[in-house]
Structure 1
Amino acid sequence: MKYLTLLLLFPGLVYAQQDSNPPMEGFNADDSHPQAIEIADQVMASMGGRAAWDNARYLSWTIFGEDHVWDKWTGRFRWQGDSTVVLMNIHTMEGRAFKDGNEITPADELLAGAYRDWINAGYWLLMPYKLKDSGVTLGYKGEETMANGHEAHVLTLRFDGVGLTPDNGYDVYVNKELNLVEQWSYYADADADEQPRFTTTWEGYESYGDIMLADTRAVVNSESNVRRVSNLGVYSDLPDSVFEDPNQISLASLTETGTY
């Protein structure tokens, strides 16, 4: 469906911030709601802006008990879990895997697993920056009150043949005053599921370098089910050893070796 009527009524709605936050190639602008696109641009601006996001080269984070360091410019990626280390490039899928510093061969399964984790764990951290990604269709669901009592615009994210789980979908709740994502709901099958599998908050926004990240995901209506993202860092420079050392490293040490 194309939102021709809204475009005619509000011709500046889609293009107001297009130059400052152009969509990724393959974003479904034709079938996306113009108000949802405008809100996505406002989210990007509130998170630091597109230029700041593009210039944020290195990111580190720990979630679900696993460490991640990503060179966003080149695709180099370090994954750590227990005694296992995977060093790879997510663009080429080439890399090596190690356990206790000893190389594991063949490494195909571990490389594929690290890549899946980069997609999943990365989305849990960076979703607000990916609202206009390739294959995404943005819808506008209306206004709702979030679990924290704040009023929100609700966007719908649907995917067309991208990622490992293209049937997934999300409702994304954007604080109407702050233009920050403060809640999301997950649907395993966006076409079939009448209710989300879970809804969590997005809390704890802080500045890292020139961008903002949120470190807490609390399941709504569950006081005990809280996920925290630790070892958050955004760096302009990191030593090559971060992507070459087969031994476990402390992500906390990156604050000493990296440059913001």
Structure 2
Amino acid sequence: MKNILRLVGFCSIITFMHCKNEPSEAVHTPQLSRFVAANSDPEAIMIADAAIEACGGTEAWNAVKGLKWNFFGRRWLLWDKENQHVRIDNTQNDTKLLLDLKTMKGRVYKDGKEWTEPDTVQKYTNMAYKQWINDMYWLVAPLKIKDEGVRLRYLGEDTTQTGIASDVIELKFDSVGVTPQNMYKLWVGKNSKLVAQWAYYSDATDSVPSMITPFDNYLRYGNVFISGDRGGKRQLTGIKVFEELPKEWFENFDALDFEHL
């Protein structure tokens, strides 16, 4: 599992989503690990550590077994973080995708049946992987500030668009993944130590971000704190942390009542 996930880094905006303002990120392992401190500013590392701790800390995040959430009303996601299985149920149609992150093998249900043609399965397996990467990073980016390949730089003090006094850190990436040219800026509240806002740059040389959104309304889920409010219609809802997920959720396409899981 770890060998597979080490091969990927931060990705570009997902093209099939037809939206240029949705950043995406590839996960390396379920743990915060292999961050090289020598490649980052000490002050930026200190702020990043405080932001991670404000969300519950590394130990609490590592202890999370599974997650459920709805991405912008488009789809439900179940992530068995411990065993590395993903299920995605589209809310606009009957498409359901199952993905084993250890083997990168998937299954596809759409238009009332399971599809087994290799090309179709591969196409939707790739889609499931990209959707999971994207949607997961939108959900828990503050807990992944110190992932492998991340380089941090302290940019100074600033206020968010809503006036929150913050320290700003820049995230760039080593030569990992598909698009290491991506860049993020995170505003970390001086009082709360929580990530209060982010800006996404599709290229680190861009002078203007593709997108700026808040991280509002943090709530506690288990022992971690997660913000599902990215402003306006960008809402991550139905969030739940699981201590255990039934394996059958990832083995068949039976309908699930996601609202009440």
2:53 counterpart of 1:45: yes
1:246 pairs with one of 253, 258, 261: 253
Distance 1:91 1:167, change over 3 A: farther
Gaps of 5+ in 2: 1-30
Contact 1:101/1:247 (<8 A) preserved: no
Bigger relative contact order (CA 8 A; separation at least 6): 2
Partner of 1:84: 95
Amino acid at match of 1:165: T
Structure 1 residue 195 corresponds to structure 2 residue 203: no
Match of residue 166, structure 1, among 156, 180, 190:
180
| Residues matched between the structures, number | 225
**Distance in 2 (alpha carbons) for counterparts of 1:176 and 1:186:** 21
1:135 Cα offset (Å): 0.9
* Cα displacement string for residues 196-235 of structure 1 (whole angstroms, at most 9, x for unaligned residues): 11100001100011111101102xxxxxx43011110001
Shift of 1:150: 1.2
User: For 1:51-200, what aligned pairs fall within 5 Å after superposition?
Assistant: 51-64=59-72, 65-81=74-90, 82-100=93-111, 102-105=113-116, 106=118, 107-190=121-204, 192-200=205-213
SS in 2 for 1:227: coil
For residues 230 and 129 of structure 2, what CA distance do their matches in structure 1 show? 22
Residue identity (%): 38
The answer as to whether partners of 1:80 and 1:248 remain within 8 angstroms in 2 is no
On the 8 A contact 2:32/2:58 being kept in 1, the answer is no
The one-letter code sitting in structure 1 at the alignment partner of 2:98 is: L
Q: Name the residue aligned to 2:23.
A: none
Show structure 1 runs of 4+ deviating over 3 A: none
Judging changes above 3 Å, is the alpha-carbon distance between structure 1 residues 96 and 29 closer, same or farther for their aligned structure 2 residues? same
Q: Which of these two proteins has the greater Rg computed from alpha carbons?
A: 1
**1: distance between equivalents of 2:183 and 2:255?**
35
**Cα offsets for 1:100-145 (capped at 9, x unmatched):** 5521122001000110111111110010010110111111111101
TM-score (norm 2): 0.82
Aligned CA-pair RMSD: 1.5
What is the TM-score with the length of structure 1 in the denominator? 0.82
AA matched with 2:201: Y
CA offset digits 1:45-81 (Å, max 9, x no partner):
1111211111111101111311111011121110111
Quote how far apart the aligned CAs of 1:23 are: 5.2
AA aligned to 1:203 is D
- TM superposition shift of 1:238: 1.8
